[in-house]
Amino acid sequence: MKPIYCCIIPLMFLFLSSCTSDPGKIVSPNGKIALTVQVEDTQESGYGKALFYIDYLAGSQTKRLLSDVVLGVETEQYKFDHLKLMAVSDALPINEDYRMITGKKSHCTNQGTERTFRFENEQQQTIEIVFRVYNDGVAFRYVVETTNPEGDYLTKELTTYPIPEGTNRWMQQYAIDYEGFFPLATNGESKGRRPSPLWGYPALVEPQDSLFVLITEAGIRKGNSASRLYNGDHSDQYQVCSPDEKIAFNKNYTSPWRVLIVGTLADIIESTLVTDVSDPNKVADTSWILPGAAAWIYWGHNHGSRDFQLVKEYIDLAADMGWPYNLIDWEWDVMTNGGTIQDALQYAREKGVKPLLWYNSGTSWIGPGAPGPLDRLNNKENREKEYAQLHEMGVSGIKIDFFAIDGAKMMDYYIDLLEDASKYQLMINFHGATIPRGWQRTYPHLMTVEAVYGAEWYNNLPILTERAAAHNATLPFTRNVIGSMDYTPGTFSDSQHPHITSHGHELALPVVFESALQHMPDRPESYSALPDEVKRFLSGLPTAWDETKLLAGYPGEEVVIARRKGEVWYIGGLNGTNERRTLTFATHFLTDSPKTITLIKDGQEERSFRIEAPTQITNKESIAVDCLPRGGFVAVIR
């Protein structure tokens, strides 16, 4: 691993009297992104609002992507709203180079430039803001020190992103489970199932034609609250806010990184900036962390894990399909009909299938009717006892569900769950939970996170039926950019509410949607009825990738994504519209030629396939695939 130079070189501050004419400017190593920090003088004393803006070099043109982003924080003791820039550090190089077990890319590299800006307020109290300008975006965070031996409390963050009316944006109204849609809008009005002036991350904005900014955060440590965006005061001003009224800190407070991924849609989708700015891996032995597909009972049978005979059918499905895992979902602690959880685990061992088990986090749905097992993870003593028993029984991982709101205590709980799980070699899947914020780098046994309006909603409400195609064609540009997403993709039959996406569309989802544990949700009889070529495709499909490329697309309309595992490329394409559409992609990403491509696409009807014979291609092809309304395709290139 290459060193992160900013961490080992002492900061050398340039005081403004001896600075160059533009001390507030930072440019990315590739020269495409320039961030400029300035103070808007509102008083003769020179104190004013601290702001920054971002310019992007597109060809020979420089385009403004964000203007007048407000900076500052408030604590119980200090107010950093009117500031004077006192000093700027030398530019320090950032060289990120690390390996990932999960995610869109196994070998992550990125270069950036860091500068630290020291401000003072009118009471001569100081605050530092650390900026990094990478080749694919910007990250910044606040560092506040207190001289009070009793510590202080952060009460407000002033960071505000202006998004002018008329600007295309795809944003989700905030909910604690992040299970909502990202509809295209051109204003900041609150609409939909949960009207509110609060907005969750990530937020995708198109400030210039074909140039985008994705807003999120990363690098949350213990003591940090997660944040969201608030535009209740001015609809075009989105302020960072915490669910906590105040956040305690002792000597200093360091905020999470505020992250802005910048560039084309390909830059957005292929970016690893969320993990780049997060803490390095803390797990020494990672040999037990193995991505893979899992059979999953809940979509077909909501309460199926109570039934030993049904659980056996899904263990058999995993064995027949060659999937390494089977997830036994909620209520396994009251399993009947011929066996208990111990019998199910023994049956899985006999079949060579690794079991995963569901748990209630005990923080949100804990009242009457709450599903179990409950109250086994909430305190360290119980948690470690439970984890030790699971490890002894051969359980490979756990799915933890129903988390409460994203305050600092809840962030600490997530981290406690992860840190203790690594001691007992348990992989983790968070459900009904917060979004990924880079923990998959720090804790590589965090395999996936829900935080998405996924296929399980076919069980609950009829809304997804009509909206799924456009929603599915939006998620690769929004939610799935920031980390693994447990959508549970690929349903060929119906749950309580039908799906009207085509079989080609559904088959593409496990390629288009990245999740290191990919839960396959349909019933055993549905998979057994698929053509042999389709079953072979699903049996051998990887769930963690060496490389990811966006080949074509626009949010809500269409997407074509290529993912490489070893020497093999897997391509998934989705038509997000209600009209027939031809999806086109070039093969320039192939290094050697010729290759062989196998294509599975929509048949004559929605619930059929057309499987084309393998053909040879080079890296100079343009391939067009005709799709049904709400259709799709997959291709394998070897």
Give pLDDT, residue 353. Answer: 98
Give pLDDT, residue 480. Answer: 98
Residues 568 and 571: their CA atoms lie apart, in Å, by 10
Contact 49, 81 (CB under 8 A): yes
Q: Which stretch of DSSP H or E encloses residue 321?
A: helix 308-321
Q: Which residue has the tokens 């307020």?
A: 121
Residues 20 and 229: their CA atoms lie apart, in Å, by 35
* Sequence-ordered list of residues with C-beta below 8 angstroms from that of 345, at least 6 positions apart, any chain: 355, 393, 394, 395
- List beta partners, residue 427: 397
Residue 289's closest CA among 397, 377, 442, 389? 397
Contact 485, 512 (CB under 8 A): no
Give pLDDT, residue 593. Answer: 82
**Confidence (pTM):** 0.96
Give pLDDT, residue 462. Answer: 96
Contact 506, 608 (CB under 8 A): no
Where do the domains of the chain lie, and which CATH numbers do they carry? Answer: 5-161+211-220+250-276 (2.70.98.10), 292-544 (3.20.20.70), 552-637 (2.60.40.1180)
The three-class DSSP label of residue 328 is strand
Phi then psi for 86, rounded to 5 degrees? -105, -35
Pairing of strands 61-70, 397-401: unpaired
* Sequence-ordered list of residues with C-beta below 8 angstroms from that of 72, at least 6 positions apart, any chain: 49, 50, 80, 81, 83, 127, 157, 158, 159
Residue 245 has a CB neighbour count (10 Å cut-off) of 9
Contact 446, 479 (CB under 8 A): no
Angle in degrees, CA 89, 94, 100, rounded to 5: 150
Between the CA of residue 495 and those of 239, 469, 470, 505, what are the distances in Å? 40, 17, 20, 17
Residues 71 and 217: their CA atoms lie apart, in Å, by 15
The three-class DSSP label of residue 265 is helix
* DSSP codes joined into one string, 397-449: EEEEE------HHHHHHHHHHHHHHHHTT-EEEE-S-PPP-SHHHHSTTEEEE
In the structure encoding, which two tokens stand for residue 154, read together? Answer: 């952060």
Q: Where are the beta strands (DSSP E) in 402-557?
A: 427-430, 446-449, 517-520, 547-554
* Digit-coded pLDDT (tens) for 143-175: 999 989 999 999 999 999 999 999 999 999 999
Name the DSSP letter for residue 14. Answer: E
Residue ranges in the chain whose pLDDT is less than 70: 1-22, 42-43, 192-194
In the structure encoding, which two tokens stand for residue 95, read together? Answer: 């060289």
The three-class DSSP label of residue 15 is strand
Number of H helices, E strands in the chain: 11, 39
Give pLDDT, residue 357. Answer: 98
Give pLDDT, residue 620. Answer: 94
Residues 357 and 275: their CA atoms lie apart, in Å, by 27
Residues 345 and 291: their CA atoms lie apart, in Å, by 20
Residues 514 and 103: their CA atoms lie apart, in Å, by 7
Amino acid letter for position 257: W
